[in-house]
Structure 1
C-alpha cells in the first residue's frame, strides 16, 4: 500500500498512533483511514469506539509505560507519535511525559523492529527566533532545520524529542521524521490572528502524515507542519521534498481574524507568539 495520492513508497499497513484521543489524534483518525490499513490507537484517555467498517485497534496505555508500549508496537509498520502534553505545564511533568515518554516510544519501536516513526514536534522548539530572522532567511521562510530556540518548557521538550529522533536514526537506522507542527485545528479561528501564520488544516495534516509514511528511505528529516498560508513564515520545501502538497490556506479567515486589533497581534517579534513567549514558565498557556 502507498501513501494517499502517491506513487510507490513505504508500505504501512498497521500504524500506531499515540495520543489518539487528543485534539490532533481525533482529527487524524478519520482522515488516515485507508483500504487495507489498520490504525492502532493508543491513549490513557478513553477512545471513541470503532465506527461501522472502521479498522481500528483500541489500546489503553501510556507512552511512559515500557510494557504498554512494547505491546502496542508489536506488528506495527510505522508510528505517528502524537502523545504527550500539548501545552506548557510543570517541568517534571513535561520531562516525564514528553521527553521520557518519547524515549520509551522510540525504544519500544527499536526493540519491536518498527522501521519508521513520525514525531510531533512544534514551532515552539524555535519559538524565540525573531521574525526578522525569518525575513532574512529569504522568501521561502525559516528552514525546517533551524537550530532550537525554545520559548517554554514545552518547547524544550520538543527540541529534545527531535534530538532523540536523530539519535535513533543515527544509532539504529530507524527512519524518523520530526514535524514542527504549527497549530492543527478545524479552522484557525480558535488561534486568533497568529493562526494566519501557523495553521495546519486537518486535511493538510493528513496529507503531510501520508507523505511521511510513503516517502522511500527518508532517514532523519526535520520538516515544518503548516498549510501553505499566505502569511506563513516557515519553509515548506523540506516537507514538499517528501511529497507533501498543501491545498489549504488560512488567509480565507483573514477578515475574521484581523477584526479589531488583530493586526497588532501579528507584530509580536518572536516566532512562538506572545502567549508562549511571555507567560510564566510552567504555567498553562492559551493556544
Structure 2
C-alpha cells in the first residue's frame, strides 16, 4: 500500500519547486504548485508542462500526457493547498521567509497534513519554531537537477515526529529516489561536505594553483565525481552557494569563510549558468 499522499502541494515554482512537483506527479500524486503572482504561476505552469512532455518523450513514464497534465495545477491562492496531505516548501533560502510561508500553509491544511522544507542548509528546528505544531515539519532536501538526482536528504528536526520521518523515507523511495536521514545540523551532511569542497576549489583558482577546467577534471577523473565542484557551483548558482557558505561560516566557523573571488563574482552578477557566466561560460 502506498504511503504517498494523494495530493501534494509545493510552495514555490522555481527550478527546484517544479522538479519536486514533477517527481511527485510521476509517482501518482495530484500536485498543486503555489506561486506569488499570475506571471510567476504562468511561468511555473509552462515549466511543469515541459517537464511532463520531456518525461513522456523519453519514456520515463508510461502515463499518457493528458493524465499527468490533468493532475497538475498552479495557483496563487494558498487556500488551494487545503486538501494537501503533504506540502513541500521550496522558496529562497531565507529563514524568516520559510517560516512565514509554512505558518501560512499550516493555517489552511488539515490537522493530519505533513509539512516539509527543501532548505539545503537552514535549521529545520528554527524554521519549525514558526509553526503551531513543529512536530509536523521535516526537511526534504532535493538536489538539482531533481529529475536525474537519486538522492533526497531527510532532515530530522528536534521536534519532528518519528512517524513523519518514517513516512518521509517511504515517500522518497516511492518517487524513485534514495533517502539518507540526518539530524538537524548546519548544512546537514550534503551541503556541508559539498560546500567545503567547492570553497577550497575556489581558493585554489584564486591562488592560481590550476585552471577551473583542470581543478574540475582532477575531481571528475581522480575521484569519480560526476561533475567538478566549480561547474556544480555554476549550476547551483554562486549566489546560492555564497548564502549557504555565509550561514555555515556564522554557525561553524572560519573553515567555511567565503573566498574573496566568490564574493567578487556574485557582486559582479557572474552567478553561473542562470546568468550565462560563472567559472565557465553557459549558452543555455
TM-score of the pair, normalised by structure 2: 0.47
Q: Which has the higher contact order (CA 8 A, sep 6+)?
A: 1
